[in-house]
Amino acid sequence: MYIGKIMHTNLITVAPNASLLDAEKLIRENPIDHLLVVNKKDKLVGIISDRDLKKYWASPATSLSKHELGYLLEKVEVQMIMSKTVITVAPDMTVERAAYIMQIHNVNALPVEENGQLVGIITSTDVMGVLLNAIGMSDSSSRISVYVKDSIGMLATITAALRDAGVNIQSVFSWPVTNYQGINQLILRIAGADQEQAVKALKEAGYKAQTQYVKDITPFLPGH
């Protein structure tokens, strides 16, 4: 899935010299958590979040009256507190890459630019929704873990065992197991009603399926 397929294109923007009251009103009246700050040439110059506004709101609130606070916030401009270093992405970036960028930079939104023009925005909520859908997460699905040696054809062996048992795999992904070199954990998501049959089929094929959290995974590792 690519960013361009899920990004929001109906953008709510604010000028750098707008007051914090103006910014707060825009966020309050629209279902958004971030405001894109653009100049007169429609160029992205910053971003401000609902969290940024709330922090500034709370800062002077304990010592000022409501009237004094309102007066102050009318004088404070968006450009005074916005984040000026904005990480942007392109429409042809994958969703998983966007998730990685959000994590390493600790941000919850990424403006989308194409050929220097602002064309959209994507949030962590959007990314999470796509990734959950990709792994087949639902109330009716079941999760099975299988620990296997990192070798050619291992995935085919596992999927063939489930295929022969009539178990449909909704999604599968894999990652290396920390502290166990050469061992990968396969995460299989199947229909909840198929869990018992899947565990049985894997056992007959020589694999121990983990269906719930355990402190010690040693009994599930190959060769144990």
What is the DSSP track for 26-40?
Answer: HHHHTT-SEEEEE-T
One domain for residues 157 and 188: yes
User: Of 78, 106, 132, which marks where a domain is finished?
Assistant: 132
Indicate which CATH number applies to the domain containing 179.
3.30.70.260
The Cα–Cα gap between 116 and 136 comes to 36
Mean pLDDT of 134-163: 90
One domain for residues 57 and 105: yes
Indicate which CATH number applies to the domain containing 103.
3.10.580.10
Q: Is pLDDT above 80 for 127?
A: yes
One domain for residues 123 and 151: no
One domain for residues 158 and 196: yes
User: Of 99, 117, 132, which marks where a domain is finished?
Assistant: 132
Strand-pair partners of 34: 49
Domain residues for the domain of 23 are 3-132
One domain for residues 158 and 177: yes
Total domains in the chain come to 2
One domain for residues 113 and 159: no
One domain for residues 125 and 29: yes
Structure tokens at 183: 């061992």
One domain for residues 10 and 97: yes
Lowest mean pLDDT among 30-34, 76-80, 132-136: 132-136
Structure tokens at 43: 């160029």
pLDDT reported for residue 74:
73
pTM for this model (two decimals) = 0.76
Q: Is pLDDT above 70 for 159?
A: yes
Phi, psi angles (nearest 5°) of residue 51: -65, -40
Which comes out higher in pLDDT, residue 125 or 66?
Answer: 125
The Cα–Cα gap between 100 and 132 comes to 15
Phi, psi angles (nearest 5°) of residue 2: -110, 150
One domain for residues 94 and 140: no
User: Of 69, 102, 132, which marks where a domain is finished?
Assistant: 132
Which comes out higher in pLDDT, residue 77 or 59?
Answer: 77
Structure tokens at 133: 């859908």
Which residues have a Cβ under 8 Å from the Cβ of 54 and sit 6 or more positions away? none
One domain for residues 69 and 32: yes
Q: Is pLDDT above 90 for 141?
A: no
pLDDT reported for residue 52:
83
Whole-number average pLDDT of the chain? 89
